[in-house]
A and B are shown apart, each in its own frame.
Chain A
Protein backbone atom coordinates (compact mmCIF):
# COMPACT_ATOMS: atom_id res chain seq x y z
CA UNK A 1 0.00 0.00 0.00
CA UNK A 2 2.76 2.40 0.97
CA UNK A 3 4.54 1.58 -2.26
CA UNK A 4 1.88 3.34 -4.25
CA UNK A 5 2.35 6.60 -2.45
CA UNK A 6 2.54 9.58 -4.78
CA UNK A 7 5.31 11.96 -4.01
CA UNK A 8 4.82 15.63 -4.35
CA UNK A 9 1.35 16.07 -5.75
CA UNK A 10 1.80 15.30 -9.41
CA UNK A 11 -1.55 14.92 -11.19
CA UNK A 12 -1.28 12.57 -14.15
CA UNK A 13 -3.11 13.83 -17.23
CA UNK A 14 -2.35 15.12 -20.68
CA UNK A 15 -2.12 18.84 -21.28
CA UNK A 16 -0.01 21.56 -22.87
CA UNK A 17 1.26 22.58 -19.45
CA UNK A 18 2.27 19.00 -18.62
CA UNK A 19 4.30 18.80 -21.81
CA UNK A 20 6.23 22.01 -21.20
CA UNK A 21 9.89 21.84 -20.31
CA UNK A 22 10.28 21.92 -16.50
CA UNK A 23 12.63 24.89 -16.85
CA UNK A 24 9.87 26.93 -18.47
CA UNK A 25 7.51 26.08 -15.64
CA UNK A 26 10.08 26.94 -12.98
CA UNK A 27 10.89 30.28 -14.57
CA UNK A 28 7.18 30.99 -15.11
CA UNK A 29 6.36 30.27 -11.48
CA UNK A 30 9.10 32.57 -10.27
CA UNK A 31 7.98 35.30 -12.69
CA UNK A 32 4.37 34.92 -11.61
CA UNK A 33 5.27 35.24 -7.94
CA UNK A 34 7.41 38.30 -8.66
CA UNK A 35 4.60 39.82 -10.72
CA UNK A 36 2.24 39.51 -7.76
CA UNK A 37 4.50 41.86 -5.85
CA UNK A 38 5.13 44.12 -8.81
CA UNK A 39 1.51 45.09 -9.39
CA UNK A 40 -0.08 47.30 -6.81
CA UNK A 41 -3.44 48.16 -8.35
CA UNK A 42 -6.68 46.22 -8.75
CA UNK A 43 -6.22 46.12 -12.51
CA UNK A 44 -2.94 44.28 -11.96
CA UNK A 45 -4.61 41.67 -9.80
CA UNK A 46 -7.30 41.15 -12.38
CA UNK A 47 -4.61 40.56 -15.01
CA UNK A 48 -2.82 38.11 -12.69
CA UNK A 49 -6.10 36.33 -11.96
CA UNK A 50 -6.89 36.00 -15.64
CA UNK A 51 -3.38 34.68 -16.36
CA UNK A 52 -3.68 32.15 -13.53
CA UNK A 53 -7.17 31.08 -14.60
CA UNK A 54 -6.00 30.45 -18.16
CA UNK A 55 -3.07 28.37 -16.88
CA UNK A 56 -5.36 26.30 -14.66
CA UNK A 57 -7.74 25.76 -17.55
CA UNK A 58 -4.88 24.71 -19.85
CA UNK A 59 -3.43 22.32 -17.27
CA UNK A 60 -6.56 20.12 -17.24
CA UNK A 61 -6.14 19.61 -13.50
CA UNK A 62 -9.41 19.83 -11.54
CA UNK A 63 -9.62 23.06 -9.59
CA UNK A 64 -10.16 21.31 -6.25
CA UNK A 65 -6.58 19.96 -6.43
CA UNK A 66 -5.31 23.52 -6.69
CA UNK A 67 -7.27 24.56 -3.64
CA UNK A 68 -5.95 21.60 -1.65
CA UNK A 69 -2.62 23.38 -1.35
CA UNK A 70 -4.40 26.26 0.34
CA UNK A 71 -5.34 24.16 3.36
CA UNK A 72 -1.77 24.17 4.57
CA UNK A 73 -1.62 27.95 4.70
CA UNK A 74 -5.11 28.77 5.97
CA UNK A 75 -3.66 29.59 9.37
CA UNK A 76 -0.92 31.87 8.04
CA UNK A 77 -3.47 33.51 5.79
CA UNK A 78 -5.80 34.21 8.71
CA UNK A 79 -3.03 35.70 10.84
CA UNK A 80 -1.91 37.93 7.97
CA UNK A 81 -5.42 39.13 7.33
CA UNK A 82 -6.19 39.79 11.00
CA UNK A 83 -2.97 41.69 11.64
CA UNK A 84 -3.30 43.81 8.53
CA UNK A 85 -6.93 44.47 9.24
CA UNK A 86 -6.51 45.76 12.79
CA UNK A 87 -3.03 47.14 12.94
CA UNK A 88 -2.86 49.39 9.90
CA UNK A 89 -3.17 53.04 10.86
CA UNK A 90 -5.46 55.27 8.81
CA UNK A 91 -9.06 56.34 8.36
CA UNK A 92 -11.30 54.45 10.78
CA UNK A 93 -14.22 52.54 9.32
CA UNK A 94 -15.50 50.49 12.23
CA UNK A 95 -14.31 50.51 15.79
CA UNK A 96 -15.15 47.86 18.38
CA UNK A 97 -13.78 48.27 21.90
CA UNK A 98 -10.09 49.11 21.34
CA UNK A 99 -9.87 47.51 17.90
CA UNK A 100 -10.18 49.69 14.84
CA UNK A 101 -10.64 48.60 11.26
CA UNK A 102 -9.24 51.18 8.92
CA UNK A 103 -9.87 51.69 5.24
CA UNK A 104 -6.20 51.18 4.47
CA UNK A 105 -6.15 48.09 6.66
CA UNK A 106 -9.07 46.56 4.85
CA UNK A 107 -7.43 47.25 1.51
CA UNK A 108 -4.09 45.82 2.63
CA UNK A 109 -5.67 42.71 4.18
CA UNK A 110 -7.58 41.85 1.03
CA UNK A 111 -4.51 42.48 -1.09
CA UNK A 112 -2.32 40.24 1.09
CA UNK A 113 -4.93 37.48 1.06
CA UNK A 114 -5.17 37.64 -2.72
CA UNK A 115 -1.40 37.68 -3.09
CA UNK A 116 -0.83 34.72 -0.82
CA UNK A 117 -3.56 32.58 -2.30
CA UNK A 118 -2.45 33.36 -5.87
CA UNK A 119 1.08 32.49 -4.85
CA UNK A 120 0.05 29.09 -3.51
CA UNK A 121 -2.28 28.26 -6.37
CA UNK A 122 0.32 29.41 -8.87
CA UNK A 123 3.03 27.15 -7.51
CA UNK A 124 0.49 24.31 -7.27
CA UNK A 125 0.02 24.58 -11.02
CA UNK A 126 3.72 23.81 -11.36
CA UNK A 127 3.93 20.95 -8.84
CA UNK A 128 0.71 19.37 -10.09
CA UNK A 129 1.88 19.28 -13.69
CA UNK A 130 5.55 18.34 -13.24
CA UNK A 131 6.93 15.07 -11.87
CA UNK A 132 9.38 15.54 -8.98
CA UNK A 133 11.93 13.92 -11.22
CA UNK A 134 11.76 16.39 -14.06
CA UNK A 135 11.54 19.20 -11.54
CA UNK A 136 14.92 18.13 -10.18
CA UNK A 137 16.28 17.89 -13.71
CA UNK A 138 14.99 21.35 -14.53
CA UNK A 139 16.53 22.83 -11.38
CA UNK A 140 19.86 21.20 -12.11
CA UNK A 141 19.95 22.66 -15.59
CA UNK A 142 18.75 26.12 -14.51
CA UNK A 143 21.26 26.38 -11.68
CA UNK A 144 24.18 25.23 -13.76
CA UNK A 145 25.69 28.73 -13.94
CA UNK A 146 26.08 28.59 -10.14
CA UNK A 147 28.83 26.05 -10.68
CA UNK A 148 31.21 28.96 -11.25
CA UNK A 149 30.69 29.80 -7.58
CA UNK A 150 31.47 26.19 -6.66
CA UNK A 151 27.87 25.34 -5.83
CA UNK A 152 27.61 21.53 -6.18
CA UNK A 153 24.55 21.72 -8.42
CA UNK A 154 24.74 18.21 -9.84
CA UNK A 155 25.35 16.65 -6.45
CA UNK A 156 22.39 18.44 -4.88
CA UNK A 157 20.12 17.35 -7.73
CA UNK A 158 21.38 13.76 -7.41
CA UNK A 159 20.71 13.81 -3.67
CA UNK A 160 17.22 15.08 -4.26
CA UNK A 161 16.36 12.39 -6.74
CA UNK A 162 17.85 9.65 -4.54
CA UNK A 163 15.85 10.97 -1.60
CA UNK A 164 12.71 10.83 -3.73
CA UNK A 165 13.45 7.24 -4.66
CA UNK A 166 14.07 6.14 -1.08
CA UNK A 167 11.18 7.87 0.66
CA UNK A 168 8.68 5.09 -0.15
CA UNK A 169 11.22 2.41 0.78
CA UNK A 170 11.94 4.01 4.13
CA UNK A 171 8.25 4.56 4.77
CA UNK A 172 7.61 0.91 4.21
CA UNK A 173 10.48 0.05 6.50
CA UNK A 174 9.04 2.30 9.22
CA UNK A 175 5.77 0.49 8.86
CA UNK A 176 7.53 -2.88 9.20
CA UNK A 177 9.52 -1.86 12.28
CA UNK A 178 6.40 -0.37 13.84
CA UNK A 179 4.47 -3.59 13.34
CA UNK A 180 7.35 -5.62 14.73
CA UNK A 181 7.44 -3.40 17.82
CA UNK A 182 3.66 -3.49 18.25
CA UNK A 183 3.77 -7.27 18.03
CA UNK A 184 6.12 -7.21 20.99
CA UNK A 185 3.88 -4.92 23.01
CA UNK A 186 5.10 -1.45 22.09
CA UNK A 187 2.51 1.30 22.44
CA UNK A 188 2.68 4.18 19.98
CA UNK A 189 -0.86 5.40 20.52
CA UNK A 190 -1.61 6.28 24.13
CA UNK A 191 -0.10 8.74 26.56
CA UNK A 192 0.72 12.43 26.34
CA UNK A 193 3.06 14.04 23.86
CA UNK A 194 6.23 13.33 25.83
CA UNK A 195 5.30 9.69 26.20
CA UNK A 196 4.52 9.38 22.53
CA UNK A 197 7.81 10.98 21.61
CA UNK A 198 9.61 8.57 23.89
CA UNK A 199 7.84 5.66 22.23
CA UNK A 200 9.28 6.77 18.93
CA UNK A 201 12.88 6.20 20.03
CA UNK A 202 12.85 2.42 19.56
CA UNK A 203 11.35 3.09 16.14
CA UNK A 204 13.83 5.72 15.01
CA UNK A 205 17.01 3.95 16.10
CA UNK A 206 16.58 0.86 13.89
CA UNK A 207 15.26 3.06 11.10
CA UNK A 208 18.37 5.25 11.14
CA UNK A 209 20.68 2.26 11.30
CA UNK A 210 19.00 0.70 8.33
CA UNK A 211 19.01 3.99 6.42
CA UNK A 212 22.75 4.32 6.91
CA UNK A 213 23.28 0.73 5.83
CA UNK A 214 21.24 1.38 2.71
CA UNK A 215 23.17 4.54 1.99
CA UNK A 216 26.42 2.63 2.26
CA UNK A 217 25.19 -0.10 -0.08
CA UNK A 218 23.87 2.42 -2.55
CA UNK A 219 27.12 4.36 -2.60
CA UNK A 220 28.98 1.16 -3.36
CA UNK A 221 26.55 0.19 -6.10
CA UNK A 222 26.86 3.65 -7.65
CA UNK A 223 30.65 3.51 -7.61
CA UNK A 224 30.57 0.04 -9.10
CA UNK A 225 28.59 1.55 -11.96
CA UNK A 226 31.27 4.15 -12.63
CA UNK A 227 29.57 7.06 -10.88
CA UNK A 228 32.11 9.85 -10.38
CA UNK A 229 30.08 12.99 -9.96
CA UNK A 230 28.77 15.31 -12.62
CA UNK A 231 31.78 15.50 -14.91
CA UNK A 232 32.01 13.34 -18.04
CA UNK A 233 28.38 12.54 -17.53
CA UNK A 234 25.91 12.43 -20.40
CA UNK A 235 22.15 12.51 -20.03
CA UNK A 236 19.74 9.83 -21.06
CA UNK A 237 16.90 12.31 -21.19
CA UNK A 238 18.49 15.69 -21.90
CA UNK A 239 16.20 18.68 -21.61
CA UNK A 240 15.61 20.33 -24.96
CA UNK A 241 13.45 23.34 -25.68
CA UNK A 242 10.75 22.69 -28.25
CA UNK A 243 8.71 25.22 -30.23
CA UNK A 244 6.01 25.18 -27.58
CA UNK A 245 8.53 26.09 -24.89
CA UNK A 246 9.69 29.11 -26.88
CA UNK A 247 6.04 30.12 -27.35
CA UNK A 248 5.49 29.76 -23.62
CA UNK A 249 8.46 32.02 -22.90
CA UNK A 250 6.89 34.55 -25.30
CA UNK A 251 3.57 34.49 -23.47
CA UNK A 252 5.36 34.78 -20.16
CA UNK A 253 7.40 37.77 -21.32
CA UNK A 254 4.25 39.48 -22.58
CA UNK A 255 2.49 38.91 -19.26
CA UNK A 256 5.43 40.20 -17.25
CA UNK A 257 5.78 43.27 -19.46
CA UNK A 258 2.08 44.00 -19.01
CA UNK A 259 2.45 43.79 -15.23
CA UNK A 260 5.33 46.25 -15.29
CA UNK A 261 3.38 48.63 -17.54
CA UNK A 262 0.42 48.48 -15.17
CA UNK A 263 2.71 49.30 -12.27
CA UNK A 264 4.15 52.31 -14.09
CA UNK A 265 1.03 53.80 -15.66
CA UNK A 266 -1.83 52.87 -13.32
Chain B
Protein backbone atom coordinates (compact mmCIF):
# COMPACT_ATOMS: atom_id res chain seq x y z
CA UNK B 1 0.00 0.00 0.00
CA UNK B 2 1.30 3.42 -0.94
CA UNK B 3 1.77 6.41 1.28
CA UNK B 4 -1.37 8.14 0.04
CA UNK B 5 -4.34 6.09 -0.94
CA UNK B 6 -7.93 7.03 -1.61
CA UNK B 7 -10.72 4.64 -2.25
CA UNK B 8 -13.91 5.67 -3.98
CA UNK B 9 -13.47 9.15 -2.51
CA UNK B 10 -16.56 11.32 -2.86
CA UNK B 11 -16.91 14.87 -1.58
CA UNK B 12 -20.05 16.95 -1.91
CA UNK B 13 -20.46 20.65 -1.31
CA UNK B 14 -23.91 21.58 -0.16
CA UNK B 15 -25.04 24.88 -1.59
CA UNK B 16 -27.50 26.80 0.52
CA UNK B 17 -29.62 29.86 -0.19
CA UNK B 18 -29.83 32.80 2.18
CA UNK B 19 -32.30 31.09 4.52
CA UNK B 20 -30.04 28.07 4.80
CA UNK B 21 -32.21 25.77 2.71
CA UNK B 22 -30.36 23.30 0.57
CA UNK B 23 -30.30 24.59 -2.98
CA UNK B 24 -28.30 21.86 -4.51
CA UNK B 25 -25.41 19.52 -4.03
CA UNK B 26 -22.21 19.77 -6.00
CA UNK B 27 -20.01 16.75 -6.29
CA UNK B 28 -16.53 18.20 -6.25
CA UNK B 29 -14.78 14.86 -6.08
CA UNK B 30 -16.42 11.81 -7.55
CA UNK B 31 -15.23 8.28 -6.83
CA UNK B 32 -11.54 8.96 -7.03
CA UNK B 33 -9.11 6.09 -6.52
CA UNK B 34 -5.56 7.19 -5.99
CA UNK B 35 -2.48 5.29 -4.92
CA UNK B 36 0.77 7.19 -4.48
CA UNK B 37 3.94 5.35 -3.56
CA UNK B 38 6.66 6.61 -1.24
CA UNK B 39 9.14 8.71 -3.21
CA UNK B 40 6.83 9.34 -6.16
CA UNK B 41 6.45 12.67 -7.90
CA UNK B 42 2.80 12.82 -8.82
CA UNK B 43 1.15 15.64 -10.69
CA UNK B 44 -2.56 16.32 -10.68
CA UNK B 45 -3.80 18.41 -13.57
CA UNK B 46 -7.13 19.93 -14.27
CA UNK B 47 -8.76 23.19 -15.23
CA UNK B 48 -10.56 25.40 -12.68
CA UNK B 49 -13.31 23.62 -10.82
CA UNK B 50 -12.16 20.13 -11.73
CA UNK B 51 -11.93 19.17 -8.07
CA UNK B 52 -8.17 18.97 -7.81
CA UNK B 53 -7.83 21.35 -4.85
CA UNK B 54 -10.67 19.65 -3.01
CA UNK B 55 -8.90 16.35 -3.49
CA UNK B 56 -5.68 17.86 -2.12
CA UNK B 57 -7.39 19.12 1.02
CA UNK B 58 -8.52 15.59 1.79
CA UNK B 59 -4.97 14.33 1.97
CA UNK B 60 -4.13 16.80 4.74
CA UNK B 61 -7.37 16.09 6.64
CA UNK B 62 -8.65 19.63 6.13
CA UNK B 63 -11.72 18.17 4.45
CA UNK B 64 -13.27 14.82 5.25
CA UNK B 65 -14.77 12.49 2.65
CA UNK B 66 -18.54 12.36 2.21
CA UNK B 67 -18.13 8.77 1.05
CA UNK B 68 -15.13 6.53 0.66
CA UNK B 69 -11.89 6.96 2.56
CA UNK B 70 -8.40 8.43 2.47
CA UNK B 71 -5.35 6.85 4.07
CA UNK B 72 -2.07 8.64 4.67
CA UNK B 73 0.72 6.25 5.58
CA UNK B 74 -1.88 3.73 6.71
CA UNK B 75 -3.81 6.24 8.87
CA UNK B 76 -7.44 6.91 8.07
CA UNK B 77 -7.94 10.69 7.85
CA UNK B 78 -11.27 10.37 9.61
CA UNK B 79 -9.59 8.97 12.70
CA UNK B 80 -9.43 12.10 14.86
CA UNK B 81 -6.82 10.70 17.23
CA UNK B 82 -4.30 10.60 14.37
CA UNK B 83 -5.18 14.04 12.98
CA UNK B 84 -1.94 15.75 14.02
CA UNK B 85 0.20 12.82 12.85
CA UNK B 86 -1.46 13.02 9.46
CA UNK B 87 -0.93 16.75 9.19
CA UNK B 88 2.69 16.34 10.17
CA UNK B 89 3.33 13.57 7.64
CA UNK B 90 1.47 15.19 4.78
CA UNK B 91 2.54 18.81 4.64
CA UNK B 92 0.63 21.25 2.50
CA UNK B 93 1.65 24.31 0.53
CA UNK B 94 -1.11 26.62 -0.66
CA UNK B 95 -1.57 28.95 -3.57
CA UNK B 96 -1.29 32.42 -2.09
CA UNK B 97 2.15 32.99 -0.58
CA UNK B 98 1.01 35.96 1.51
CA UNK B 99 -1.79 34.10 3.20
CA UNK B 100 0.22 31.20 4.53
CA UNK B 101 3.21 32.92 6.09
CA UNK B 102 2.60 33.47 9.78
CA UNK B 103 5.92 34.74 11.08
CA UNK B 104 7.19 38.28 10.75
CA UNK B 105 10.70 37.03 10.07
CA UNK B 106 11.50 34.21 7.63
CA UNK B 107 13.14 31.97 10.23
CA UNK B 108 10.25 32.41 12.66
CA UNK B 109 7.80 31.34 10.03
CA UNK B 110 9.77 28.20 9.21
CA UNK B 111 9.89 27.43 12.93
CA UNK B 112 6.12 27.73 13.30
CA UNK B 113 5.34 24.11 12.37
CA UNK B 114 7.94 22.54 14.68
CA UNK B 115 6.82 24.88 17.48
CA UNK B 116 3.29 23.58 17.13
CA UNK B 117 4.52 20.02 17.22
CA UNK B 118 6.35 20.64 20.48
CA UNK B 119 9.87 20.12 19.13
CA UNK B 120 12.55 21.23 21.63
CA UNK B 121 14.11 24.65 20.98
CA UNK B 122 17.59 23.54 19.85
CA UNK B 123 16.09 21.08 17.40
CA UNK B 124 13.79 23.74 15.98
CA UNK B 125 16.84 25.83 15.12
CA UNK B 126 18.55 22.86 13.49
CA UNK B 127 15.44 22.07 11.47
CA UNK B 128 14.96 25.68 10.41
CA UNK B 129 18.53 25.90 9.19
CA UNK B 130 18.35 22.61 7.31
CA UNK B 131 14.99 23.42 5.66
CA UNK B 132 15.98 26.91 4.61
CA UNK B 133 19.15 25.50 3.07
CA UNK B 134 17.15 22.83 1.23
CA UNK B 135 15.17 25.51 -0.62
CA UNK B 136 18.10 27.90 -0.97
CA UNK B 137 16.67 30.63 1.28
CA UNK B 138 19.15 30.46 4.14
CA UNK B 139 20.66 33.90 3.40
CA UNK B 140 17.22 35.44 3.79
CA UNK B 141 16.50 33.98 7.23
CA UNK B 142 16.45 37.39 8.94
CA UNK B 143 14.29 39.09 6.29
CA UNK B 144 10.71 40.15 6.67
CA UNK B 145 8.51 38.02 4.36
CA UNK B 146 7.01 41.24 3.00
CA UNK B 147 10.30 42.08 1.36
CA UNK B 148 10.62 38.83 -0.62
CA UNK B 149 9.44 38.10 -4.15
CA UNK B 150 6.57 35.70 -4.77
CA UNK B 151 8.84 32.82 -5.68
CA UNK B 152 10.96 33.38 -2.59
CA UNK B 153 7.90 33.53 -0.36
CA UNK B 154 6.65 30.28 -1.80
CA UNK B 155 10.04 28.68 -1.14
CA UNK B 156 9.82 29.88 2.46
CA UNK B 157 6.40 28.22 2.70
CA UNK B 158 7.90 25.01 1.38
CA UNK B 159 10.72 25.27 3.94
CA UNK B 160 8.07 25.73 6.63
CA UNK B 161 6.56 22.42 5.61
CA UNK B 162 9.90 20.59 5.33
CA UNK B 163 10.80 21.67 8.86
CA UNK B 164 7.99 19.43 10.09
CA UNK B 165 9.79 16.46 8.51
CA UNK B 166 6.87 15.24 6.43
CA UNK B 167 6.90 12.12 4.32
CA UNK B 168 5.00 13.80 1.56
CA UNK B 169 4.21 17.34 0.50
CA UNK B 170 1.06 18.36 -1.29
CA UNK B 171 1.41 21.56 -3.26
CA UNK B 172 -1.90 23.11 -4.22
CA UNK B 173 -1.17 25.29 -7.26
CA UNK B 174 1.93 26.77 -5.64
CA UNK B 175 2.87 28.66 -8.78
CA UNK B 176 -0.49 30.06 -9.85
CA UNK B 177 0.23 33.54 -8.53
CA UNK B 178 3.88 33.74 -9.57
CA UNK B 179 5.71 35.16 -12.56
CA UNK B 180 7.63 32.77 -14.86
CA UNK B 181 10.86 33.20 -12.92
CA UNK B 182 9.18 32.51 -9.61
CA UNK B 183 7.54 29.44 -11.12
CA UNK B 184 10.90 28.09 -12.21
CA UNK B 185 12.41 28.67 -8.76
CA UNK B 186 9.59 26.83 -7.03
CA UNK B 187 9.52 23.90 -9.44
CA UNK B 188 13.28 23.52 -9.14
CA UNK B 189 13.05 23.48 -5.33
CA UNK B 190 10.27 20.91 -5.43
CA UNK B 191 12.18 18.65 -7.80
CA UNK B 192 15.27 18.84 -5.61
CA UNK B 193 13.24 17.75 -2.59
CA UNK B 194 11.98 14.77 -4.49
CA UNK B 195 15.38 13.79 -5.91
CA UNK B 196 17.62 14.54 -2.95
CA UNK B 197 15.43 14.04 0.11
CA UNK B 198 13.15 11.42 -1.41
CA UNK B 199 10.03 13.24 -0.22
CA UNK B 200 6.86 12.19 -1.99
CA UNK B 201 5.45 15.10 -3.96
CA UNK B 202 1.88 15.68 -5.06
CA UNK B 203 1.92 18.73 -7.30
CA UNK B 204 -1.39 20.21 -8.27
CA UNK B 205 -1.22 22.61 -11.13
CA UNK B 206 -2.68 23.74 -14.39
CA UNK B 207 0.65 24.58 -15.95
CA UNK B 208 1.55 21.69 -18.21
CA UNK B 209 5.25 22.55 -18.28
CA UNK B 210 5.54 21.76 -14.60
CA UNK B 211 4.48 18.15 -14.84
CA UNK B 212 7.13 16.99 -17.30
CA UNK B 213 9.30 15.67 -14.48
CA UNK B 214 6.54 13.80 -12.67
CA UNK B 215 6.51 10.00 -12.50
CA UNK B 216 2.80 9.90 -12.84
CA UNK B 217 0.13 12.33 -13.93
CA UNK B 218 -3.55 12.33 -13.12
CA UNK B 219 -5.84 14.54 -15.13
CA UNK B 220 -9.06 15.50 -13.38
CA UNK B 221 -12.28 16.64 -14.93
CA UNK B 222 -15.59 17.25 -13.16
CA UNK B 223 -14.35 15.54 -10.04
CA UNK B 224 -13.28 12.36 -11.76
CA UNK B 225 -9.91 11.14 -12.89
CA UNK B 226 -10.14 11.47 -16.64
CA UNK B 227 -6.65 10.31 -17.62
CA UNK B 228 -3.63 8.86 -15.89
CA UNK B 229 -0.18 7.76 -16.93
CA UNK B 230 3.34 9.05 -17.42
CA UNK B 231 3.71 12.59 -18.77
CA UNK B 232 4.64 11.10 -22.15
CA UNK B 233 1.52 8.97 -22.27
CA UNK B 234 -0.63 11.92 -21.30
CA UNK B 235 0.91 14.32 -23.77
CA UNK B 236 0.59 11.92 -26.66
CA UNK B 237 -3.17 12.35 -26.41
CA UNK B 238 -3.34 15.95 -27.53
CA UNK B 239 -6.94 15.76 -28.74
CA UNK B 240 -8.17 14.35 -25.44
CA UNK B 241 -6.34 17.07 -23.48
CA UNK B 242 -7.92 19.73 -25.63
CA UNK B 243 -11.33 18.22 -24.90
CA UNK B 244 -10.53 18.60 -21.20
CA UNK B 245 -9.71 22.27 -21.83
CA UNK B 246 -6.04 21.93 -20.96
CA UNK B 247 -3.20 23.66 -22.76
CA UNK B 248 -0.59 21.37 -24.18
CA UNK B 249 3.01 22.70 -24.01
CA UNK B 250 3.92 24.47 -27.20
CA UNK B 251 6.65 21.99 -28.13
CA UNK B 252 4.32 19.06 -27.76
CA UNK B 253 1.66 20.84 -29.74
CA UNK B 254 4.10 21.66 -32.51
CA UNK B 255 5.32 18.07 -32.68
CA UNK B 256 1.74 16.88 -32.73
CA UNK B 257 0.79 19.19 -35.59
CA UNK B 258 3.91 18.19 -37.53
CA UNK B 259 3.07 14.56 -37.04
CA UNK B 260 -0.49 15.08 -38.14
CA UNK B 261 0.81 16.64 -41.34
CA UNK B 262 2.93 13.64 -42.10
CA UNK B 263 6.33 14.08 -40.44
CA UNK B 264 7.45 10.85 -38.84
CA UNK B 265 7.85 11.89 -35.18
CA UNK B 266 7.45 9.81 -32.01
CA UNK B 267 4.46 10.40 -29.73
CA UNK B 268 4.50 12.69 -26.69
CA UNK B 269 7.52 14.93 -27.25
CA UNK B 270 8.02 16.97 -24.07
CA UNK B 271 11.02 19.25 -24.48
CA UNK B 272 12.52 21.40 -27.18
CA UNK B 273 15.70 19.28 -27.16
CA UNK B 274 13.72 16.14 -27.84
CA UNK B 275 11.95 17.76 -30.75
CA UNK B 276 15.20 19.02 -32.23
CA UNK B 277 16.72 15.56 -31.93
CA UNK B 278 13.70 13.88 -33.47
CA UNK B 279 13.58 16.38 -36.31
CA UNK B 280 17.28 15.95 -37.09
CA UNK B 281 16.76 12.23 -37.14
CA UNK B 282 13.88 12.59 -39.55
CA UNK B 283 15.93 14.92 -41.69
CA UNK B 284 18.90 12.59 -41.87
CA UNK B 285 16.82 9.43 -42.06
CA UNK B 286 14.85 10.41 -45.13
CA UNK B 287 16.65 11.43 -48.25
CA UNK B 288 16.44 15.11 -47.45
CA UNK B 289 14.26 17.10 -49.92
CA UNK B 290 11.24 14.95 -49.15
CA UNK B 291 10.57 16.52 -45.81
CA UNK B 292 11.28 20.07 -46.69
CA UNK B 293 9.36 20.29 -49.94
CA UNK B 294 6.34 18.36 -48.71
CA UNK B 295 3.64 21.05 -48.68
CA UNK B 296 2.05 19.55 -45.58
CA UNK B 297 5.15 20.05 -43.48
CA UNK B 298 5.88 23.64 -44.24
CA UNK B 299 7.62 25.62 -41.59
CA UNK B 300 5.31 26.60 -38.81
CA UNK B 301 4.69 30.35 -38.45
CA UNK B 302 7.81 32.16 -37.38
CA UNK B 303 6.59 33.24 -33.97
CA UNK B 304 5.86 29.68 -32.85
CA UNK B 305 9.23 28.53 -33.93
CA UNK B 306 11.21 31.10 -32.00
CA UNK B 307 9.02 30.40 -28.99
CA UNK B 308 9.78 26.73 -29.21
CA UNK B 309 13.47 27.27 -29.15
CA UNK B 310 13.12 29.96 -26.55
CA UNK B 311 11.57 27.33 -24.33
CA UNK B 312 14.73 25.26 -24.56
CA UNK B 313 16.27 26.55 -21.39
CA UNK B 314 12.99 26.91 -19.59
CA UNK B 315 12.71 23.80 -17.51
Most buried by B among A162, A169, A223, A236: A236
Residues B84 and A226 in contact, CB atoms below 8 Å apart: yes
In the assembled complex, how far is the CB of residue B51 from the closest CB belonging to chain A, in whole angstroms? 17
For the complex, would chain B's binding face be called helix, strand, loop or mixed by DSSP majority? helix
Q: With a CB–CB cut-off of 8 A, which chain A residues contact B103?
A: 165
| B114 contacts the other chain (CB 8 A) | yes
In the assembled complex, how far is the CB of residue A260 from the closest CB belonging to chain B, in whole angstroms? 39
Q: Which of B160-199 contact A (CB under 8 A)?
A: 160-161, 164
Residues B99 and A221 in contact, CB atoms below 8 Å apart: yes
A235–B128 Cα gap in the complex (Å)?
13
Instruction: Closest A residue to B112 by CB, please name it.
Output: A225
Residues A218 and B100 in contact, CB atoms below 8 Å apart: yes
Q: With a CB–CB cut-off of 8 A, which chain A residues contact B108?
A: 133, 236-237
Given A168-B146, A217-B100, A227-B116, A236 contacting B91 (CB threshold 8 A): no
Given A168-B146, A234-B120, A225 contacting B160 (CB threshold 8 A): yes
Q: With a CB–CB cut-off of 8 A, which chain B residues contact A220?
A: 62, 94
| A233 contacts the other chain (CB 8 A) | yes
In the assembled complex, how far is the CB of residue B102 from the closest CB belonging to chain A, in whole angstroms? 6
In the assembled complex, how far is the CB of residue A139 from the closest CB belonging to chain B, in whole angstroms? 15
Instruction: Closest A residue to B113 by CB, please name it.
Output: A225
| B147 contacts the other chain (CB 8 A) | yes
A237–B103 Cα gap in the complex (Å)?
12
| A31 contacts the other chain (CB 8 A) | no
Instruction: Closest B residue to A173 by CB, please name it.
Output: B98
In the assembled complex, how far is the CB of residue B73 from the closest CB belonging to chain A, in whole angstroms? 15
Q: With a CB–CB cut-off of 8 A, which chain A residues contact B237?
A: none
- When each residue 101-124 of chain A gets 1 if its CB lies under 8 Å from chain B and 0 otherwise, what string results? 000000000000000000000000
Q: With a CB–CB cut-off of 8 A, which chain B residues contact A162?
A: 102
Per the CB 8 Å criterion, the residue count for chain B at the interface is 39
Name A217's contact: one of B99, B105, B107 (CB within 8 Å). Answer: B99
Residues A214 and B87 in contact, CB atoms below 8 Å apart: no
Residues B118 and A221 in contact, CB atoms below 8 Å apart: no
Q: With a CB–CB cut-off of 8 A, which chain A residues contact B283?
A: none
Residues A161 and B115 in contact, CB atoms below 8 Å apart: no
Q: With a CB–CB cut-off of 8 A, which chain B residues contact A237?
A: 108, 121
In the assembled complex, how far is the CB of residue A201 from the closest CB belonging to chain B, in whole angstroms? 22
CB pairs A–B below 8 angstroms (12 shown): A133-B108, A218-B100, A218-B102, A221-B94, A222-B112, A224-B87, A225-B160, A225-B161, A226-B88, A234-B115, A236-B114, A236-B115
Which B positions have Cβ atoms within 8 angstroms of A?
60, 62, 84, 87-88, 91-92, 94, 96, 98-105, 107-108, 111-121, 124-125, 128, 145-147, 160-161, 164
Given contacts A161-B104, A217-B96, A234-B119, 13 further A-B contacts (CB under 8 A): A133-B105, A214-B99, A217-B99, A218-B99, A222-B102, A223-B87, A225-B91, A225-B102, A226-B87, A234-B121, A236-B107, A236-B111, A236-B124
